[in-house]
Amino acid sequence: MDKIRIVGGARLNGTIPISGAKNAALPLMIASLLTDEALVLANVPRLADVALLKRILGNHGVDITVAGKRIGEAELSGETVQFSARTIVDTTAPYELVSKMRASFWVIGPLLAREGFAKVSLPGGCAIGTRPVDLFLEALQTLGAEIEIDAGYVIARAPNGLKGGHVVFPKVTVGATHVTMMAATLAKGDTIIENAAREPEIVDLAECLIKMGARISGAGTSTIRIQGVDRLHGTRHAVMPDRIEAGTYAMAVTMTGGDVLLEGARYDSLAKPIEILREVGAEITETNEGLRVYRNGAALRPVDVTTEPFPGFPTDLQAQLMALVCRAEGTSHIRETIFENRFMHVQELARLGAEIHLDGQNATIVGVPRLKGAPVMATDLRASVSLVIGGLVAEGETMVNRVYHLDRGFERLEDKLSRCGATVERISG
């Protein structure tokens, strides 16, 4: 099993190209099930989750072709992939595939909309909370689906097709917003989604669906309106830059000090994290190429942060921020409101010398003058990269174990960091 070895102490200087967003690429790939024509996606990141979803889509009959490299293409640029779901050969998403990644459950929406039937295993994924699917199923029922759960599978039927409806989510849910929006594109009549998620990835999916012929308005606001159409066609779309990857590297530079251009990063998708990082002590400026992050070595300042749905501070950057403020001069407070079990990185950061106290969903982080390298273990995707951030300034060697979690969401992290002066290497075994 691979490990990441880090020797702390180096400042980061240079350029880090930001990959396509995993959280945008996955629903965009799933949207290929909505049409019998080819969907071509550019800037698709090379990640374990993307590879797994390719397998799942292939199981449904999607033909997948990866374009070769082009002249002048950057070494760390994403793939261009064509997805062609001319015929859906299987409407079942089996347990052995869905259990490995929660987002694969989202195929239920397009399969149901296009084929009138879907049998999808209840999902798995990171162990960061229960994340029930009841909101997904209630939304599909509002669109006319008949739902039953049998032997760990959700069986959804709409033999006469889905019908437009008024979906009101009791709480903001990104996954259910994705699924409902995709399903509603082929429903008969109009659909209104209220209390919809406002994340940039929702907007990216909506823009792609509109290119495919969908009639969608309001994406990026709390009310999305969809006029159903008879069919969608193929198109070409570029996956948006990964705001979580960009935020993670911004925190790494803030932690170590230095000067790094995050190539392709977008300010509009990171406004709240940028505000917090400036409070901590980073200088962040928007350029034509992306975002420049600079810190000259001045002391880090403590902050108080609560995770919230977009445009608030994202839960997917909570672990990274906690690692950062472990070195702040003073006491920081982080409240996690999205997932009930997303503090599993705390005990691993403590192995590096961090002083963190938990009280339910609240973490109090008392800044320490130094961290010391140690063997640590990744427990989930974002927790794993928080340990990398800690290791970048820890004295001596930090060895991060179980980095398959890291490979689910960060493309060639060790290459990107080492090019900016960090001592980071992957050890296979």
Tens-place pLDDT, residues 191-219: 999 999 999 999 999 999 999 999 999 99
Q: Is residue 32, in this structure, part of any structural domain at all?
A: no
Q: Is residue 22, in this structure, part of any structural domain at all?
A: no
> In terms of domains, do 208 and 265 share one?
no
Separation between Cα atoms, residue 43 and residue 319, nearest integer Å: 26
Q: Does 375 belong to an annotated binding site?
A: no
> In terms of domains, do 405 and 354 share one?
yes
Separation between Cα atoms, residue 132 and residue 116, nearest integer Å: 23
Which of the residue ranges 68-77, 313-322, 354-363 would you say has the lowest mean pLDDT?
68-77
126, 208, 326, 420: the active-site residue: 126
Are β-strands 190-194 and 223-227 bridged in parallel, bridged antiparallel, or unpaired? Answer: antiparallel
CA separation (Å) from 286 to 255, 292, 314? 20, 6, 20
Q: What is the pLDDT averaged over residues 177-201?
A: 98
- pLDDT for 127 beyond 50: no
Q: Is residue 397, in this structure, part of any structural domain at all?
A: yes
Name the domain boundary from 183, 201, 230.
Answer: 230
Asked if 126 is an active-site residue, the reply is yes
Q: Does 132 belong to an annotated binding site?
A: yes
Q: Does 316 belong to an annotated binding site?
A: yes
Give the model's confidence band at 379: pLDDT under 50 very low, under 70 low, under 90 confident, else very high. Answer: confident
Find the helix or strand (DSSP H, E) in which 240 lies: none
Q: Does 102 belong to an annotated binding site?
A: yes
> In terms of domains, do 252 and 151 share one?
no
What pLDDT, in 10s, does the model give residues 23-68? 999 999 999 999 999 999 999 999 999 999 999 999 999 999 998 7
Q: Which tops the pLDDT comparison, 403 or 13?
A: 13
Residue showing tokens 């002066």: 421
Q: What is the pLDDT averaged over residues 399-428?
A: 93
Q: How many CB atoms within 10 Å of residue 71? A: 4
Give the model's confidence band at 76: pLDDT under 50 very low, under 70 low, under 90 confident, else very high. Answer: low
Q: Is residue 283, in this structure, part of any structural domain at all?
A: yes
Query: Residue 163 burial (CB < 10 Å; 0-12/13-18/19+)?
Result: middle
Which phi and psi angles does 146 have, rounded to 5°? -100, 125
Q: What is the pLDDT averaged over residues 251-279?
A: 98
Helix axes 134-142, 174-185, angle to 10 degrees: 20
> In terms of domains, do 182 and 324 share one?
no
Q: Which of 139, 145, 31 is nearest to 85 (CA)?
A: 31
Q: Is residue 130, in this structure, part of any structural domain at all?
A: yes
342 with 128: CB under 8 angstroms? Answer: yes
Residue showing tokens 């251009």: 261
Contacts of 217 (CB under 8 A, 6+ apart): 224, 225
> In terms of domains, do 280 and 190 share one?
no
> In terms of domains, do 320 and 419 share one?
yes
Separation between Cα atoms, residue 162 and residue 151, nearest integer Å: 25
Output the domain CATH number for residue 118: 3.65.10.10
342 with 318: CB under 8 angstroms? Answer: yes
How much is the pTM? 0.94
239 with 78: CB under 8 angstroms? Answer: yes
Which of the residue ranges 39-43, 362-366, 379-383 would you say has the lowest mean pLDDT?
379-383
Q: Does 63 belong to an annotated binding site?
A: no
20 with 44: CB under 8 angstroms? Answer: yes
Domain, as residue range, for 206: 90-230
Helix axes 271-280, 318-325, angle to 10 degrees: 10
Q: Which two three-digit tokens encode residue 53? A: 């979803």
Are β-strands 3-7 and 423-427 bridged in parallel, bridged antiparallel, or unpaired? Answer: antiparallel
Q: Is residue 76, in this structure, part of any structural domain at all?
A: no
* E strand map for 20-157: 38-44, 63-66, 79-84, 92-93, 117-121, 146-150, 153-157
Give the model's confidence band at 249: pLDDT under 50 very low, under 70 low, under 90 confident, else very high. Answer: very high
Which pLDDT belongs to residue 344?
Answer: 87
Which pLDDT belongs to residue 382?
Answer: 75
> In terms of domains, do 392 and 250 share one?
yes
> In terms of domains, do 275 and 399 share one?
yes
Name the domain boundary from 195, 230, 265.
Answer: 230
Q: Is residue 62, in this structure, part of any structural domain at all?
A: no
Is the four-CA dihedral 45, 289, 274, 420 of positive or negative sign? positive
Which pLDDT belongs to residue 384?
Answer: 87
Q: Structurally, how many domains does the chain consist of?
A: 2
Q: Does 133 belong to an annotated binding site?
A: yes
Separation between Cα atoms, residue 157 and residue 154, nearest integer Å: 10
Q: What is the pLDDT averaged over residues 270-293?
A: 98
Q: What Rg, from alpha-carbon coordinates, does the chain have?
A: 22
Q: Is residue 63, in this structure, part of any structural domain at all?
A: no
> In terms of domains, do 400 and 325 share one?
yes
> In terms of domains, do 288 and 423 share one?
yes
> In terms of domains, do 336 and 420 share one?
yes
Name the domain boundary from 203, 230, 257.
Answer: 230
